[in-house]
Structure 1
Amino acid sequence: MVSPYGGVSGAWFGPTHHCLEDLAVMQSLPGVRIAVPAGEAETREAIRAAADGDWPCYVRLGRNEVFDASFAPAGRGAVTWLNPMGGDTCVVSIGEKPTALCQAATEQQPDLGHAHLCWVDEESLTLALPQLADARRLVVVEEHRAAGSVASTLALLLPDREVLSVNAGADWPAEGGNHDETLAALGLTTSAVLSAVLKGK
């Protein structure tokens, strides 16, 4: 299943087109593998992997806007490191806009590790855990509600780590706007990422 309009990428179309609970719904179905690719190359790889496999897959996409991903795709169970860790905190990006927010955050804080994930079902996340083991604190940035999020799954899988979440919250945007404006109305901004990174330090 390939789903466009992921998160609030429908923007101007309003709440009837927002999709902020889909990962939680798909995570509740046993045996479904879930991909949230960023950029054309990763999207193509995720679609090929889904088509070649013998398991049900859910691939979440945005809408129309081109995302310039100048990094190697993250395969299932793999992590693409977009910024090496210089301390004990790592941001984890899920999807295109969160990846862009994390990249902006690491520009302001160069010692901040940035791990990008594409496959985010529990089984795939479990395979990726050893690659995240050096981080004491994980700040997961995703265009999704807190309930049933990737952050909540990682928190269960990593009980000895501090897992924080920067997400779309529980509100619905009351006014229209483009994708970035809608995200900002929900509190998904670079400032929110940096604030979460600093929390508890």
Structure 2
Amino acid sequence: MHLTAYSLFSWLLNGGNQKDGFLPAAFPFLVAMLGLSLWYLFLKARKPMAPLPPGPLGLPIVGYLPFLGFDNLHLVFTELAGVYGPIYKLWLGNKLIVVISSPSLVKEVVRDNDIAFSERESPIAAQIITFGTNDIAFDSYSSPSWKHKRKILASDMLSSANLNACYDLRREKVMEMVGDVYENV
């Protein structure tokens, strides 16, 4: 069958009264999907990616989310660590997540290389709750405001006098939480 632009769109010129109208109706959609797919692959090929640890393959749009099983998420992560090692990657939607499950690697990342790993993207929920990451937990590590907030936290809020003043309240809350855990187990 010889298809030309006229034969594909002749159904439109004839008022759409053609019996075999599915192909002409689907053609613009198929061309658009092909164009978007090629554009996505072109952009992905242009962006050089750093070498990443191994990890499971996910689905194109949702990544590995459907396979996580949110009831026992820690068991899924333990199983994946057994397959891929103590450090592996996961695609959760379009976000790349690197999971570290070894205490020695966590120590290396959090304590030894904290500056290199401190500048990461904040989740949308954190940006909303903290009014644009305007707090000590999600603010940029290198910003002067973060250093000022950390100084206030260390000198005023976490001073020995303040910690001793709320010792009884902390002890009471810990006992309540332990009691709740004991009742629910």
Which structure is larger by alpha-carbon Rg, 1 or 2?
2
TM-score, normalising length: structure 2: 0.24
TM-score, normalising length: structure 1: 0.23
Q: Considering fraction of residues, name the structure with more helix.
A: 2
